Amino acid sequence: MNILSVDQIYKADKITIKNQNIDSVQLMERAGEQVFDWIEDILMGAPIHIHVFCGIGNNGGDGLVVGRLLIESDYNVTVYVVNFSDKRSKDFLHNYDRIKTDTKVWPTLIKSEKDFPEIGSGDIVLDSIFGIGLNRSPEGWVKKLIEHLNKSGALIISIDIPSGLFANKALEDKDAVIKATHTLTFQIPKLAFFLPETGPFASMVKTLDIGLDQKFIEEAEPLAQLISQEEAQSFYIPRKKFGYKGTYGHALIVAGSYGKIGAAVLASTAAFRIGAGMVTAFVPKCGYNILQTTLPEAMVITDKEEEFITEITSDFEPTAIGIGMGMGKNQATVQALKKLFKNSKSQFVIDADALNNISENKDLMKLLPKKSILTPHPGELKRLIGSWNDDYEKLEKVKKFSKKHDVVVIVKGAYTATVYEDKIYINTSGNPGMGTAGSGDTLSGILTGLLCQGYDILSASLFGVFMHGFAGNKAADKMGYEALIAGDIIENLSEAYVELFMDPENDNWEDDDLFDDDWDDDDWDDDEWEDDFLK
């Protein structure tokens, strides 16, 4: 699914209107009906007081349509117009007149702080004050209104985007943004929903199909692309009937130091589980017995040093090398990295201390192998590219780094972003239980194992990140978030493969809601959710 800019979304509206021979009012009616249907499916006539706050632009017009439909269906509704300017959009005025004519209910004007209504914690607020066209943060009494709504304790449903949030640029004033419980966005998700600084304001997101021109959406150059189960299926390379272990490559996992041999175990095991034909672990001497006992399928090469790595050698040319997990920053280790980067022709997955060593050594940075996959967590990323002021600047700096060094950079997070040159891909699998020690080691092993099987660096990155999160979801379904450990992700890779081509009812973002603040990506049970909602 493509994530488009505000200008592209407006263009999609215009093209839809032209190609479908409708006008903008009809498109607004269609959008309002979709929001109403979603609310109706949940409430089914429940006597909850619904407060509809409408701005004076097209987003406010959407709210007026929904308010009218709710009133006509005998819901307990109060409609407010947030009258912050004398300028009104044409479609807002059309629906303002229509709600008065059709329902005989005149919206209540809010012109200052003294007009703020009292809202109960058991009420519902429908937010349609500002849409994607907002270009500066709300100020004055309008900001205070937003603060008033956020403090009310009511369930807040935002139409298209929470008011005060920009669709594809950084926050200016976090206190002037609606903190939506649910966001009902139209057709195309907004980039802000997926970034650490802005995503929490949108919380659970449902994409409503309002029939925008699909050809334009698919052909437009996106700000980013979402990777869900459907996309992941397209990356999968089937096993060959007459394949053997040599067909699926030989991974070398260079990892571990005294007290951190577990990193080598996790990465090596994950490389096997994702499908590598052979795996050799290169570890300090102290890791030999651990690897041989824990993972008998792996071959083991040890360094001459007992506690850390000083020279990386092997009697074979690895298909792919995963390096850095728990290996430390000893100066001898840095020299070993330099020698390996100079001499090896293998593809690399570079993680953890290998990244830290690169960040701290300019000579090593110059030797960074092209076509590598880098997997930094936020701290490691900051050491690589420098600090940033906001998430958008961060992504721009990552793109610049990727182009300069010809590498894929995987930016880990609730929605892990894979960046290659100017392209951004946002993953939709995963859960908070995966925020646990060793999860990153597991991902590095998965990526290395995929490179061994012939995936190119971008496909390996996108498929690997998705499968990592998908397996994590399977583990969390059984164990809950708190009990999940990195080994559980590895153990559930088999189930992730088995279910990859099943009906993605609960895991395909396009058919479901975004993660909530707890990153719960499972579709709710309608009956149970309805009971909780009404309570």
132 labeled binding residue? yes
91 labeled binding residue? no
CB 516 within 8 A of CB 202: no
487 labeled binding residue? no
CB 475 within 8 A of CB 483: no
324 labeled binding residue? yes
464 labeled binding residue? no
**Contacts of residue 446, Cβ cutoff 8 Å, sequence gap at least 6:** 270, 271, 273, 274, 464, 467, 468, 493
Can you give the three-state secondary structure of 61-95, one letter per residue? Answer: HHHHHHHHHHHHCCCCEEEEEECCCCCCCHHHHHH
24 labeled binding residue? no
CB atoms within 10 A of CB 279: 27
120 labeled binding residue? no
User: Encoding tokens for residue 124?
Assistant: 């519902």
160 labeled binding residue? yes
480 labeled binding residue? no
Cα separation, 529 vs 522, in Å, equals 12
**Residue the block writes with tokens 């891909």:** 425
On the CB side of 506, how many CA atoms lie within 13 Å of its CA? 14
175 labeled binding residue? no
Cα separation, 529 vs 155, in Å, equals 14
211 labeled binding residue? no
473 labeled binding residue? no
234 labeled binding residue? no
427 labeled binding residue? no
182 labeled binding residue? no
Can you give the three-state secondary structure of 118-185, one letter per residue? Answer: CCCCCCEEEEECCCCCCCCCCCHHHHHHHHHHHHCCCEEEEECCCCCCCCCCCCCCHHHCCCCCEEEE
CA 425 to the chain's CA centroid? 9
158 labeled binding residue? no
135 labeled binding residue? yes
246 labeled binding residue? no
440 labeled binding residue? yes
Cα separation, 119 vs 152, in Å, equals 6
Cα separation, 463 vs 427, in Å, equals 9
127 labeled binding residue? yes
377 labeled binding residue? yes
β-strand 417-420 against 408-411: which pairing, if any?
antiparallel
263 labeled binding residue? yes
131 labeled binding residue? yes
Binding residue numbers for (6S)-NADPHX? 58-62, 131-137, 160, 263, 324, 377, 441
Binding residue numbers for AMP? 412-416, 440
Binding residue numbers? 58-62, 127, 131-137, 160, 163, 263, 324, 377, 412-416, 440-441
Binding residue numbers for K(+)? 59, 127, 163
